[in-house]
């Protein structure tokens, strides 16, 4: 052999090794799916959804995936995760069994059902890791197509880092923006508005995202003919194809069983996106579902015999094997060896996963049974308690609920006894509960040193020379210094860039700080939020604007499903410290003066909800948020931008502590609790009430989540013994939450001498015009009447 021949053989050999490695991973993944389904059907796991039939394109995608890149995908992606080294087989099974140990199940510590992948961006202290040196996956959620929203932001972060590399310098997240965000979505999920909105946004922004559509012609039982015009997503997206002007997408269509073509497509798409920030769409067709959609049903019910036969023939793994053999890359027996090794590995991994899931529970069973048996010896209910222990220890595959139920019963049976054994059991139970709190209830909010409640308060400073200005000018001055100081901060939304938002809070700032920092977006609330999530997940500090509070409904899905759950569903493994800025409460008409605070409070637990009464408070809250790592919604008063306020001397330094209400008027007769714009109306009512000698104590709660953490309101009730909650939301909306907090959480009912009252807006949306507002929202005269009547009933002799 001459030199070139040797080189060729060596190259061939290398090529073969790579291909066989790909076959090995794909085959292991397939076996994992097959075994996973069995585990569910035999009752070891509750639900299973698997990546079978989608292995090959994911192997190809993983080849193009580099350090610093991010995936934003869905439940079919186990092979990609395995091929990228981000998931091993044991971890796959650990999630299937809901192992709550974060080391065994790093994606969610058993909190999410199987198939929900994600890497840990944060260390155990909640601090960022060097994400540019890691392969990353954002944490999956179940709502179809929702992953497309944050994909836009993950991709936009690369563009931002590239554009501002001199400003930002070396950082943990990006090397010159050379990272790609890889999205995956099922064919049927492309029917969602989320998908189309995200595709359009990515095209407008020209950001490095590669969207793969895994097309198996079905969405559960519903065929593509009901999902997609022409049954073909790449066909109908042709208008997005890049043209000679260089704008748009590079669109690829490739068959899901065609290994060389898949490898070539992903290499090209990755390169285009990484180097030139060109978004790409890869439509992967002719995929199958060997085991149907999930363990919840069988596809024989809705697929024809012909289709089922076609799927068998065109299974990507089968065709990959045929291709390997046809091209003499390997032999039957060599492949068989790989398959046999895979069988052993998958079985051993499954077994290890099961044991590591079950052993700690068995340990707890042993401990609790021991304590129950001790108790049995010291009680007249010995037989019953011993039977409980016996029953508990005989469960072959126990869960913790069974321990909790048995202990509770034992303590019930012996409730009047005071033995050491019972005390020991109680003490064990309290540790058990603490551990279960950690397993199932921790990390709703950041537990890092950057938690919002840990931000140190700095009071605003005013002096004699402090100017009186329009409220919006306080914001402009605040944001101006923020953009100067912190290159991670960007602000965007509808009309945010050129005109500096509809109320001029960013006026002139785009000109000063650049179009990359403060910019306009299309009218697309879902992806405005997604852009915020993705950029925040990559170390930036986005302020994403929803133009009016009423339009938060459009943005609510990703806020509720993605942002609010992120810390919780990853048990502190990921964070998106996103600030959503909006304005509302009072102005004009049905869609410009809403205050759906109950909806917000009920859907956004996990976020902070801040309701500053003026712009000085708002600027201080922004400063608190920017120093913390928690996501928040901040609602400015729509009618407050032109009201005069004093400009603080220490903008950008003072902070408003969260969860700390403020008494804005002292009084001894009634505690009146409210927030936001309504406070000004309450102050009008207060003037009228003073005329008849009634002094109300007006408390601005300032932040609804967190709510009055030091129980200031309850303290006020000790003095007044009467409570009125005034709220612009519908009856029983936010006011119900506020009452629950005061009466139950703060034990406020102890201090009441009269029925607590809520005064709210009417149940309908507010009508247009000043009269519409007056007769729809709580007005000063109604407030006067409600409070006067309360006082009259309480002490008729006083008036």
CB nearer ligand TPP, residue 493 or residue 530: 530
CB 372 within 8 A of CB 109: no
CB nearer Mg ion, residue 190 or residue 446: 190
For ligand TPP, the binding residue among 55, 216, 545, 645 (CB under 6 A) is: 216
Out of Mg ion, ligand TPP, none, which partner does residue 321 contact, by CB within 5 to 8 A per kind?
none
CB of 29 to ligand TPP, least distance (A): 15
For Mg ion, the binding residue among 126, 186, 248, 577 (CB under 5 A) is: 186
CB nearer ligand TPP, residue 194 or residue 445: 194
CB nearer ligand TPP, residue 216 or residue 630: 216
Asked whether position 22 contacts Mg ion by CB under 5 A, the answer is no
137: which strand partners?
71
CB of 185 to ligand TPP, least distance (A): 6
d(CA 372, CA 352): 30
CB nearer ligand TPP, residue 212 or residue 714: 212
CB 71 within 8 A of CB 85: no
For ligand TPP, the binding residue among 30, 76, 422, 571 (CB under 6 A) is: 76
376: which strand partners?
none
Stretch that binds ligand TPP, among 218-226, 430-438, 493-501, 781-789 (CB under 6 A): 218-226
For ligand TPP, the binding residue among 110, 126, 203, 219 (CB under 6 A) is: 219
CA angle 69, 167, 518 (to 5 degrees): 85
CB proximity list for 283: less than 8 A, separation 6 or greater: 213, 215, 232, 233, 234, 251, 252, 253, 254
CB nearer ligand TPP, residue 557 or residue 678: 557
Chain-centre distance for alpha carbon 61? 25
CB of 63 to ligand TPP, least distance (A): 21
CB of 429 to ligand TPP, least distance (A): 37
* Residues between 624 and 663 with contacts to ligand TPP, criterion CB under 6 A: none
Q: Which residue is nearest to Mg ion (CB)?
A: 186
Out of Mg ion, ligand TPP, none, which partner does residue 142 contact, by CB within 5 to 8 A per kind?
ligand TPP
d(CA 295, CA 36): 9
Strands of 86-201, DSSP E: 136-137, 181-186
CB proximity list for 152: less than 8 A, separation 6 or greater: 198, 201, 202, 205, 207, 209, 527, 530, 531, 534
Q: Which residue is nearest to ligand TPP (CB)?
A: 186
Asked whether position 220 contacts ligand TPP by CB under 6 A, the answer is yes
CB of 216 to ligand TPP, least distance (A): 5
CB of 30 to Mg ion, least distance (A): 18
- Judged by DSSP in three states, 608 sits in strand
CB nearer ligand TPP, residue 253 or residue 504: 253
d(CA 269, CA 287): 20
- Judged by DSSP in three states, 627 sits in helix
CB nearer ligand TPP, residue 281 or residue 685: 281
CB of 129 to ligand TPP, least distance (A): 30
For Mg ion, the binding residue among 187, 191, 703, 741 (CB under 5 A) is: 187
Question: What is the helix (H) or strand (E) element at residue 282, kind and residue range?
Answer: strand 280-285
Binding mask 83-122 for ligand TPP (x = CB under 6 A): ----------------------------------------
CA angle 542, 539, 649 (to 5 degrees): 55
CB nearer ligand TPP, residue 220 or residue 387: 220
Nearest CA among 214, 278, 189 for reference residue 240: 278
CB of 186 to ligand TPP, least distance (A): 2
Stretch that binds ligand TPP, among 140-148, 164-172, 197-205, 715-723 (CB under 6 A): 140-148
The DSSP annotation for 136-165 comes to EEPPP-SSTTTHHHHHHHHHHHHHHHHHTH
Binding mask 137-176 for Mg ion (x = CB under 5 A): ----------------------------------------
CB of 167 to ligand TPP, least distance (A): 39
- Tell me the CA end-to-end span of the chain in Å, nearest whole number: 114
CA angle 169, 173, 178 (to 5 degrees): 85
The position carrying tokens 């540019």 is 132
d(CA 390, CA 181): 54
186: which strand partners?
214
Instruction: Give the residue ranges of DSSP H helices in 315-331.
Output: 316-326
Out of Mg ion, ligand TPP, none, which partner does residue 189 contact, by CB within 5 to 8 A per kind?
ligand TPP
CB proximity list for 267: less than 8 A, separation 6 or greater: 63, 64
For ligand TPP, the binding residue among 20, 63, 143, 435 (CB under 6 A) is: 143
Stretch that binds ligand TPP, among 141-149, 264-272, 379-387, 753-761 (CB under 6 A): 141-149
For ligand TPP, the binding residue among 27, 97, 173, 218 (CB under 6 A) is: 218
CB nearer ligand TPP, residue 187 or residue 741: 187
Binding mask 152-191 for ligand TPP (x = CB under 6 A): ----------------------------------xxxx--
d(CA 641, CA 232): 49
Is 592 noted as a catalytic residue in this protein? yes
d(CA 255, CA 21): 21
For ligand TPP, the binding residue among 93, 214, 252, 259 (CB under 6 A) is: 214
CA angle 719, 721, 723 (to 5 degrees): 115
- Judged by DSSP in three states, 419 sits in coil
Binding mask 267-306 for ligand TPP (x = CB under 6 A): --------------------------x-------------
| Environment class of 312 (CB within 10 Å of its CB; exposed 0-12, middle 13-18, buried 19+) | exposed
CB of 289 to ligand TPP, least distance (A): 7
CB nearer Mg ion, residue 84 or residue 184: 184
CB 52 within 8 A of CB 314: no
The DSSP annotation for 527-538 comes to HHHHHHHHHHHT
Question: What is the helix (H) or strand (E) element at residue 682, kind and residue range?
Answer: helix 678-691
| Size of interface with Mg ion, in residues (CB under 5 A) | 5
CB of 212 to ligand TPP, least distance (A): 11
CB 254 within 8 A of CB 60: no
CB nearer Mg ion, residue 188 or residue 610: 188
Out of Mg ion, ligand TPP, none, which partner does residue 144 contact, by CB within 5 to 8 A per kind?
ligand TPP
CB of 778 to ligand TPP, least distance (A): 36
Asked whether position 48 contacts ligand TPP by CB under 6 A, the answer is no
HSE at residue 314, side-chain half, CA atoms within 13 A, is 17
d(CA 104, CA 357): 8
CB of 119 to Mg ion, least distance (A): 25
CB 250 within 8 A of CB 272: yes
CB nearer ligand TPP, residue 193 or residue 693: 193
Out of 116, 592, 711, 764, pick the active-site residue.
592
The interaxial angle of helices 193-205 and 147-163, nearest 10 deg, is 10
The position carrying tokens 């637990």 is 605
222: which strand partners?
219
d(CA 117, CA 107): 6
* Residues between 212 and 271 with contacts to Mg ion, criterion CB under 5 A: 216, 218
Enumerate the active-site residues.
Answer: 592
Residues in contact with ligand TPP by CB under 6 A are 76, 142-144, 186-189, 214, 216, 218-220, 293
The residues that touch Mg ion, with contacts defined as CB under 5 A, are 186-188, 216, 218
């Amino acid at each position: 052999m001459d030199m070139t021949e040797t080189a060729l053989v060596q190259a061939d050999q290398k090529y073969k090794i790579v291909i066989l490695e790909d076959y090995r991973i794909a085959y292991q993944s397939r076996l994992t799916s097959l075994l996973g389904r069995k585990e569910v059907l035999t009752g070891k796991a509750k639900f299973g959804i698997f990546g079978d039939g989608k292995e090959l394109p994911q192997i190809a995608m993983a080849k193009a995936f580099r350090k610093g890149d991010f995936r934003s995908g869905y439940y079919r992606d186990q092979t990609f995760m395995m091929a990228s080294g981000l998931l091993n087989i044991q971890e796959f099974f650990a999630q299937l069994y809901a192992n709550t140990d974060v080391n065994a199940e790093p994606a969610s510590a058993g909190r999410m059902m199987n198939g929900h992948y994600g890497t840990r961006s944060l260390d155990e202290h909640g601090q960022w890791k060097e994400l540019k040196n890691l392969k990353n996956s954002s944490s999956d959620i179940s709502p179809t197509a929702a992953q497309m929203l944050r994909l836009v932001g993950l991709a936009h972060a690369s563009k931002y880092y590239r554009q501002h590399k001199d400003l930002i310098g070396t950082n943990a997240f990006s090397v010159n923006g050379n990272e790609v965000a890889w999205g995956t979505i099922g064919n049927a999920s492309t029917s969602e508005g989320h998908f189309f909105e995200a595709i359009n946004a990515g095209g407008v922004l020209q950001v490095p995202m590669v969207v793969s559509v895994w097309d198996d012609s079905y969405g559960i039982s519903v065929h593509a003919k009901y999902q997609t015009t022409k049954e073909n997503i790449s066909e109908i997206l042709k208008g997005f194809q890049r043209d000679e002007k260089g704008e748009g997408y590079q669109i690829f269509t490739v068959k899901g069983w065609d290994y060389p073509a898949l490898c070539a497509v992903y290499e090209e798409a990755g390169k285009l996106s990484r180097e030139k920030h060109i978004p790409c769409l890869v439509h992967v067709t002719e995929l199958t579902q060997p085991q149907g959609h999930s363990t919840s049903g069988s596809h024989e019910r809705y697929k024809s015999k012909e289709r089922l036969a076609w799927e068998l023939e065109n299974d990507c793994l089968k065709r990959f094997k045929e291709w390997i053999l046809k091209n003499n890359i390997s032999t039957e027996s060599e492949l068989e060896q790989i398959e046999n090794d895979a069988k052993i590995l998958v079985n051993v991994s499954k077994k290890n996963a099961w044991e590591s899931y079950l052993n700690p529970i068995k340990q707890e069973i042993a401990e609790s049974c021991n304590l129950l048996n001790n108790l049995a010896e010291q009680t007249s209910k010995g037989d019953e308690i011993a039977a409980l222990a016996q029953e508990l220890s005989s469960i072959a595959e126990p869960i913790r609920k069974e321990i909790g139920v048995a202990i509770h019963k034992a303590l019930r049976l012996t409730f009047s006894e005071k033995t050491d054994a019972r005390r020991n059991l109680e003490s064990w139970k309290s540790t058990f509960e603490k551990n279960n709190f950690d397993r199932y209830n921790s990390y709703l909010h950041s537990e890092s040193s950057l938690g919002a409640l840990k931000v140190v308060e700095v009071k605003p400073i005013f002096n004699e020379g402090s100017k009186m200005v329009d409220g919006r000018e306080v914001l402009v001055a605040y944001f101006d210094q923020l953009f100067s100081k912190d290159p991670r901060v960007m602000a965007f939304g509808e009309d945010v860039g050129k005109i500096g938002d509809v109320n001029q809070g960013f006026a002139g700032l785009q000109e000063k700080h650049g179009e990359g920092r403060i910019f306009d977006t299309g009218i697309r609330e879902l992806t405005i939020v997604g852009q915020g999530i993705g950029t925040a997940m990559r170390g930036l500090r986005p302020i994403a604007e929803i133009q009016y509070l009423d339009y938060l409904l459009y943005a609510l899905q990703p806020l509720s499903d993605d942002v609010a759950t992120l810390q919780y569903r990853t048990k502190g493994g990921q964070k998106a410290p996103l600030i959503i800025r909006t304005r509302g409460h009072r102005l004009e008409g049905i869609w410009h003066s809403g205050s759906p605070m109950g909806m917000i409070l009920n859907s956004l637990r996990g976020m902070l909800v801040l309701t500053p009464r003026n712009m000085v408070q708002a600027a201080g809250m922004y400063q608190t948020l920017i120093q913390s790592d928690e996501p928040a919604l901040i609602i400015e008063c729509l009618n407050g931008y032109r009201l005069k306020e004093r400009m603080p001397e220490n903008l950008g330094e003072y902070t408003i502590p969260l969860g700390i209400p403020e008494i804005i008027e002292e009084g001894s007769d009634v505690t009146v609790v409210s927030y936001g714009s309504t406070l000004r109306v309450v102050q009008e009512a207060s003037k009228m009430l003073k005329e008849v000698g009634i002094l109300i104590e007006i408390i601005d709660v300032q932040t609804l989540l967190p709510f009055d953490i030091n129980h200031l309101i309850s303290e006020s009730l000790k003095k007044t013994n009467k409570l009125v909650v005034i709220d612009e939301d519908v009856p029983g909306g936010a006011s119900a939450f506020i009452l629950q907090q005061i009466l139950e959480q703060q034990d406020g009912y102890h201090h009441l001498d009269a029925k607590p009252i809520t005064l709210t807006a009417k149940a309908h949306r507010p009508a247009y015009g000043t009269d519409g507002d007056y007769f729809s929202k709580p007005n000063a005269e109604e407030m006067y009447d409600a409070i006067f009547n309360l006082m009259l009933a309480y002490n008729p002799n006083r008036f």
